[in-house]
Structure 1
Amino acid sequence: MADTTEERPGLTAAPVMRKASWRHIGPGIVVAATGVGAGDLVATLIAGSKFGYTLLWAAVVGCLVKISLAEAAGRWHLATGRTLFDGWRSLGRWTTVYFIGYVIVWGFVYGAAAMSSSALPLGALFPDAMDLKWWGILCGLVGLVFVWFNRYAVFEKVMTVLVGVMFVVTVYLAVRVAPNLGDAFAGLAPVLPDGSLVYTLGLIGGVGGTITLAAYGYWVNAKGWKDAGWMKVMRLDNRVAYLTTGIFVVAMLFVGAELLHSSGIAITKGDKGLLDLGTILEDRYGAATAKLFLIGFFATSFTSLIGVWHGVSLLFADFVAHYRPSLAPAGTPRDKSPAFRAYLLWLTFPPIALLFLDQPFGLVIVYGVIGAFFMPFLALTLVWLLNSSRTPREWRNGLLSNGMLGVAGLLFVVLCVQQVRELPW
C-alpha cells in the first residue's frame, strides 16, 4: 500500500475538540451544490407540475437521507484518518474493480453531459453568439483551467458565490409565483397519490445524490480538517449545506406546483426542461425574470461541472496513490498530482467527441447500469465500514445512523432496479 500520510493525521494524541462555528462552513456547500444539477431541478419541477405540493414530504426526506450519507463519509475520514477509497479497499479487491470501472465509464459520459447542461443557458442568453456544442466545449475548458490552476480555498469560494446565485434565483422564483402556504404545509404529510411512486423515489433519492457524496470526506480533508476534533464542525457544515439544498428543492417544487400544475403545462424531461421553464417565465413575468432564471440555471449546471472536475479527480488520485505512488507522490498536494490532472483531462477532452456524435447506444447502457449501482454501493459500504473495528468505537454508527443508512441503501437498491428497467436495452 502506498504511503498516504498527506491524508492521514497523527492519531496517537487525543484530538482537540473544536466548537462548531459558521465561519468554518465550506465543504458541505461544495458537495451539496455539486450534487444538485439541472436534471434534478427538472425532476422536481415535473413532480410539482404533476402532483402539486403533495410530494413535498419526499423532498424533505431526501435531504435527511443525503445528510446521513455525507455525514457518514465525513465521519469516516475524520475518525479513522483514512480516505474512503482506503476503506473500500479494505473490504476486498472487488471494490477497487468496481470503482475504477465506474469512474472511467461514468467520467467519459458525464463530462459530455455536464458541458451540454452548462451550454444550454448560455445558448439561450446569447442565441446568436455560437453553436451549443462550442458553448459546451468552452465550459469544459474553463472548468479544466479553473480546477487545474487553483487550490481548494479558491475553488470553495467560487462555489459559494455560485451557490449564492442559485439560492437568490430559486427563492425569488418561489416568492414570485406566490405559493399557497396552506397546501404546502399539507404536503408535509406523507401520502402517495396514484402514479406517484417513481416520482417519490426520485425526489428522495435523486436530488444531490451522486458520486460527489463520496468526495465530501476529501473536501473535508482539503479544508484542513484532519482528525476527530473537527467532528462537530463537519456536522454543522453538512447540515447547513443540505438545508440549503432543501430550500432549492422546495422552491422548485413550489414553482412546479404553482406555475405548471395549476395551468396544466408540461415541460421536457432532462436539462432542456429548464429552457421550457424559461420561456414560460418570460411569457408570464417578462424578459428580465427569464434572464435571471437562466443565470441561475447556468450557476446550477456549472457548479456541478467544476465540482465533479475537482471532487472525482481527488477520488481518482487517491486510487492511483495506492497502486502507482509515482503518479500521486506523498508530499504533493492531491489536487496538483499527475493522477489528479490526468483524470481532469479525461473528464474534458474525450467527452468533447460525444458533443459531435450521438452517444453510442452500448455506452449509454453501460453508463446507466454502472451509475445506478453506485449509490447503493456507497450507502451499504458505509454501513459496513462504520460498524466494524476499522472505525474507533466512539465514532461507530448508532441506531439512528444505521437506520438512516439502511433506509438509504434499500431506497437506492429500489431506484437502481427501476433505473436499469428503464434503460433502452
Structure 2
Amino acid sequence: MAETTDTPTSVPEASGTPPRKSSWRYIGPGIVVAATGVGAGDLVATLVAGSNFGYTLLWAAVVGCLVKISLAEAAGRWHLATGRTLFDGWHSLGRWTTVFFAVYVVVWGFVYGAAAMASSALPLQALFPDGWSLRTWGVVCGLVGLAFVWFNRYAVFEKAMTVLVGVMFVVTVYLAARVTPNLGDAFAGLLPVLPDEKDAVLNTLGLIGGVGGTITLAAYGYWVNAKGWTGPGWMKVMRFDNRVAYATTGVFVISMLFVGAELLHSSGVAIASGDRGLLDLSEVLEDRYGTATAKLFLIGFFATSFTSLIGVWHGVSLMFADFVGRLREGPAGGTGASVASGERQRSWAFRGYLLWLTFPPMVLLFQGQPFRLVILYGVLGAAFMPFLSLTLIWLLNSSRTPRQWRNGPLSNAVLGLAGLLFVVLCVKQVLDQPWGDFF
C-alpha cells in the first residue's frame, strides 16, 4: 500500500504516481537532508581548513560531498526498491544492530540535544547582546523546535527548511563573493594534494568525512517516504533530488573554505574550534566589512544551526518511532515504509523521542556535559558512519534488495571506500579519547 502524504492533492506525488522525468518542482527531501547535515560545526571545520591551508584541501571538501551523495542515494534506494525502512533492513542483519542503535540513539540524542540548542543560541545572543543569556536562548530554541515539529506535518516542515536553506545559501555565497576569492588558486586546490604537516592524512580524511551529516543521511529514506515517494518509479526523482542536495552542500562548504582562505589564511587570523569559531569570524567580518555584514552572517549562522536542530528533531524521531514499532510488532507488524509518515509522526514513540531531545539535554546547558557521557557520545558518533556505510553495502548486495536495484561496481567501490574512510576515522576517534580518565 502506498504511503499517505501531507502534500496537496494537486501535486502528482500525492496520488503516488511518479512523474515521467525528474523536475525541480519535486525536490524537497534532499534540501531537508542537506540543511540538517550541514551544521555550524561543519562550517567551522571547513573554515579552519581554509584558514590553515588556503585552497589546498578544496578537493577534499568536494570528495566529501561525493561520498555523502553515495550514502544518501543508497539509503533512499533501499527505501524505494524494497518498500521497507532502513531499520527494517538493519533488523534483518541480526540483533546486534538493534542493540547498537538503541544505545546510540539514547546517548547521542541526549548530548546532541544540548549541543544543538547551544549552537542555535550562540548567534542569537550575539545579535541581541543586551537580551537573554546563552542558556535562556538555548532553552527557547529547543522549545520552539519542539513545538514546530510536534504540531506540523512534513509538508510544512519541508517548506520551512527550504526557506532557511535559502537564507544560508544567500549568506554563504555573499560572503564568498565579498572576500574576492582567488579563482586561480581555487582551481589549483581541486588537485589532490596533501598539506605539508605531520597529521595531513588524518586531517584530510576528517574534512572528507565531516562534510554534510551523519545520522541524518540515514533519515533521508524516511523523508523520501514522508514526501509520498514510494516504489521504484520514484528512483530517478530521488536521485535528482539527492544530487541537488549535495550540490547545495558543496556550495556551502566551498564558500566557507573561500572565506577561510582569503579572510583568515592570508592575514594569519586564527579562530576558535567548535561553534564559537563562527562568532570569532563575525568579529573579523565586522572589523573588515562593517556591522551590516557581520549581522547578516549571524543570521546565516542561526539558520545553519536551527535547520540542524529541527531536522534532527524530525528525522531522527521518525527513525526512533520506526525502531520502537519494529520492537513492538515484530516482522509482521507493518512498521516499514507502508506505515504513513503522518501516522508515525503522531505515535507516542515519535513524540517521546522529541521530548528526550528537548528536556533532559537542558540540564547539560546549565550544568555542563558529564565527562564520561561526552566520551561515549564521541565514540558512538564516530562508529555510526562506518555502521551505516558497511550495512548499506551488505543490504544492497543481498537478496533483500531486488536484483535490478542492487549495487553496481561503482556504488560498491564508493561505499567501500567510504566505509574504509569512516573506519579509520572511528579508530582515530577511539584512540584520541582520554580513556585513562574514564575509569
TM-score (norm 2): 0.92
Distance 1:216 1:136 in 2: 26
Letter in 1 for 2:206: G
Q: CA deviation at 1:328?
A: 10
Supply the distance in 1 between the matched residues of 2:179 and 2:201 (Cα, whole angstroms).
26
Matched, 1:291 2:295: yes
State which drifts further: 202-211 or 320-329: 320-329
How far has the Cα of 1:417 moved from its partner? Answer: 1.2
Alignment of 1:396-411 (within 5 A): 396-411=406-421
User: In structure 2, what is the equivalent of residue 193 of structure 1?
Assistant: 195
Of the three residues 150, 153, 157, the one matched with 2:155 is 153
Name which of 351, 356, 378 aligns with 1:368: 378
Query: How much has 1:333 moved relative to structure 2?
Result: 1.4
- The 3 A distance-change label for structure 1 pair 328 and 314 is farther
In 2 relative to 1, CA 220–16 (structure 1 residues): closer, same or farther, beyond 3 Å? closer
Distance in 2 (CA, whole Å) between partners of 1:369 and 1:416 is 7
Structure 1 residues 51-77: Cα deviation after superposition (integer angstroms, max 9, x where no partner): 000100001100000000000000000
Q: Distance in 1 between matches of 2:131 and 2:415?
A: 47
Residues 101-146 of structure 1: CA deviation (Å, up to 9, x unaligned): 0000000000000000000000000011111000000000000000
Amino acid at match of 1:164: G
For 1:248, give the aligned amino acid: F
Deviations 1:269-292 (A, max 9, x none): 000000000000000000000000
Corresponding residue to 1:215 among 207, 212, 219:
219
Aligned partner of 1:310 in structure 2 is: 314
Of 125, 129, 135 in structure 2, the residue corresponding to residue 127 of structure 1 is 129
**Contact 2:3/2:228 (<8 A) preserved:** no
Are 1:393 and 2:403 matched, yes or no? yes
User: What secondary structure, in the 3-state scheme, does the structure 2 residue paired with 1:254 have?
Assistant: helix
Q: Distance in 1 between matches of 2:388 and 2:34?
A: 16
The code of the aligned residue for 2:371 comes to F
Q: Deviations over 1:219-250 (max 9, x none)?
A: 00000001000000000000000000000010
Cross-structure match for 1:358: 368
SS class of match (1:397): coil
Counterpart of 2:374 in 1: which secondary structure?
helix
Contact 1:328 1:338 in 2 (8 A): no
Q: 2:13 is matched with which residue?
A: none
Q: Which amino acid aligns with 1:405?
A: L
1:95 to 86, 92, 97: 97
Counterpart CA distance in 1 for 2:434 and 2:142 is 28
1:342 partnered with 2:316: no
Q: How far apart are residue 265 of structure 1 and its match?
A: 0.6
Aligned to 1:238: 242
8 Å CA contact 1:17–1:228 kept in 2: the answer is no
1:300 to 301, 304, 307: 304
2:2, 2:244 → 1: CA distance? 30
1:418 offset after TM fit, Å? 1.5
From the superposition, tell whether residues 97 and 281 of structure 1 become closer, same or farther in structure 2 (CA, over 3 Å).
same
From 108, 127, 143, give the equivalent of 2:145.
Answer: 143
* Displacement after TM superposition at 1:16 (Å): 5.9
Conserved in 1, the CA contact under 8 Å of 2:72 and 2:217?
yes
Alignment of 1:39 onto 2:49: no
Deviation at 1:323, TM superposition (A): 1.7
Distance (Å, rounded) in 1 between the aligned partners of 2:75 and 2:154: 19
Displacement of 1:421:
2.2
CA contact (8 A) 2:142 2:358 kept: yes
1:423 maps to which residue?
433
CA apart distance, 1:17? 6.6
3-state SS, counterpart of residue 253 of structure 1: helix
Unaligned runs of 5+ in 2: 5-16
Runs of at least 4 residues of structure 1 off by over 3 A? 4-7, 15-18, 325-332
1:21 to 11, 18, 23: 23
Q: Are the equivalent residues in 1 in contact too, given 2:282–2:298 (CA < 8 A)?
A: yes
Asked if 2 retains the 8 angstrom alpha-carbon contact of 1:48 and 1:254, the reply is yes
Instruction: Provide the rounded CA distance (Å) in 2 between the counterparts of 1:414 and 1:200.
Output: 12
Which residue in 2 is equivalent to 1:384?
A: 394
Alignment of 1:77-88 (within 5 A): 77-88=79-90
Counterpart for residue 113 of structure 1: 115
Would you say the 8 A contact 2:36–2:213 is kept in 1? no
Tell whether 2:277 aligns with 1:273: yes
The one of 176, 179, 192 aligned to 1:177: 179
* Distance (whole Å) between structure 1 residues aligned to residue 371 and residue 405 of structure 2: 45
Secondary structure of 1:324 counterpart = helix
Alignment RMSD, CA only? 1.9
Aligned to 1:48, which of 43, 50, 54? 50
Q: 2:264 aligns with which of 260, 267, 282?
A: 260
Question: In the aligned structure 2, how far is the partner of 1:353 from the partner of 1:328?
Answer: 37
Taking every aligned residue pair, what percent have the same amino acid on both sides? 79
